[in-house]
Amino acid sequence: MGQKVKPTGFRTGVMVGWNSRWYAPKQEFADLLVEDFKIREFIKKSKTRDGKPVYPGIAKIEIERTRDEVKVILHSSRAGILIGRKGERVEELQRLLQEKTGRRINIKVEEINKPELVAQLIAEDIAEQLEKRASFRRTMKKAIEQTMAAGAKGIKIQLAGRLGGAEMSRREKAIAGSMPLSTLRAKIDYGFAEALIPQGHIGIQVWVNQGMYSEGDNDGDDAKTGQASKKPKRTYKR
């Protein structure tokens, strides 16, 4: 049932790192986990009066904790807008999070160079187009063409809901290229978003095959020859 598993969760701890990186005593662990969830919810769900995201283009939020502070790393395709003039928007977000958590917050923004290959951003872009009443088939086709042109090895898009204003909900799926979901060495990115239309919600799922992890990214080859390295190799930075 590999196709039923979320691809990012399937590879976490094996090929990719965790989005939250910290240690805590047993009695504090649950509270800090909920705090991480609230930080992510606040950043992703904050909206302007006209319903647009306050902090746009964020694909991933990583959180690291030390004894003194909480470090929040934002991966965004619109780093300039997120930072603001002279860093004023980041400073404002930092202040709001400090008031919400009661802890010292340090925010770092990392720019995404190729947003066409990031599944979460593709899903959010499709949701935005559907809310503007664009044709769902045309929107899917355009997203697939842009992603494949950017260098992806494969892409799969699935929409579910009352598509085109239909009376009954249904699913529509489009795929291009290869999508080896059960291959751990395959770099599969996954994203989910919801479009709110007059008829209800439409769920958007996107899978992007970004290629394979390089051969030296794990200990498999060394183990075959009986020469496993003493220090484990990691495919991600701490």
Rounded Cα distance between 195 and 160, Å, is 10
Rounded Cα distance between 43 and 76, Å, is 12
What's the sign of the alpha-carbon dihedral 41, 42, 48, 53? Answer: negative
User: Smallest Cα–Cα separation from 103: which of 60, 61, 63?
Assistant: 63
In this structure, what DSSP letter does residue 132 have? T
How high is the mean pLDDT of the chain?
86
Task: State whether 72 and 121 are in the same domain.
Answer: no
Tell me, yes or no, whether 222 lies in a domain: no
**Residue type present at position 218:** N
CA–chain centroid gap for 41, Å, is 13
Task: State whether 77 and 103 are in the same domain.
Answer: yes
Strands (E), the chain: 20-21, 58-65, 70-76, 105-111, 154-161, 170-177, 186-197, 200-212
pTM, to two decimals: 0.83
Rounded Cα distance between 216 and 148, Å, is 26
Q: How many domains does the chain have?
A: 2
Give me the domain span that covers residue 91. Answer: 9-111
pLDDT of residue 201: 93
Beta bridge partners of 105: 70
Q: Looking up tokens 């529509």, which residue turns up?
A: 172
Tell me, yes or no, whether 225 lies in a domain: no
Tell me, yes or no, whether 145 lies in a domain: yes
Instruction: List, for residues 139-183, the tens digit of each pLDDT value.
Output: 999 999 999 999 999 999 999 999 988 889 999 999 999 999 888
Task: State whether 202 and 173 are in the same domain.
Answer: yes
Hey, what's the torsion of the CAs at 145, 119, 197, 82, to 10 degrees? -110
Tell me, yes or no, whether 181 lies in a domain: yes
CA–chain centroid gap for 43, Å, is 13
User: Smallest Cα–Cα separation from 61: which of 78, 51, 76, 45?
Assistant: 76
Percent of the chain with pLDDT over 70: 88
Task: State whether 90 and 160 are in the same domain.
Answer: no
Task: State whether 49 and 75 are in the same domain.
Answer: yes
Judge whether residue 95 has pLDDT over 50.
yes
Instruction: List, for residues 111-144, the tens digit of each pLDDT value.
Output: 998 999 999 999 999 999 999 999 999 999 999 9
pLDDT of residue 219: 43
Task: State whether 120 and 107 are in the same domain.
Answer: no
CATH number at residue 130: 3.30.1140.32
CA–chain centroid gap for 200, Å, is 24
Judge whether residue 13 has pLDDT over 90.
no
CATH number at residue 57: 3.30.300.20
Task: State whether 78 and 66 are in the same domain.
Answer: yes
Rounded Cα distance between 157 and 176, Å, is 9
Pairing of strands 186-197, 200-212: antiparallel
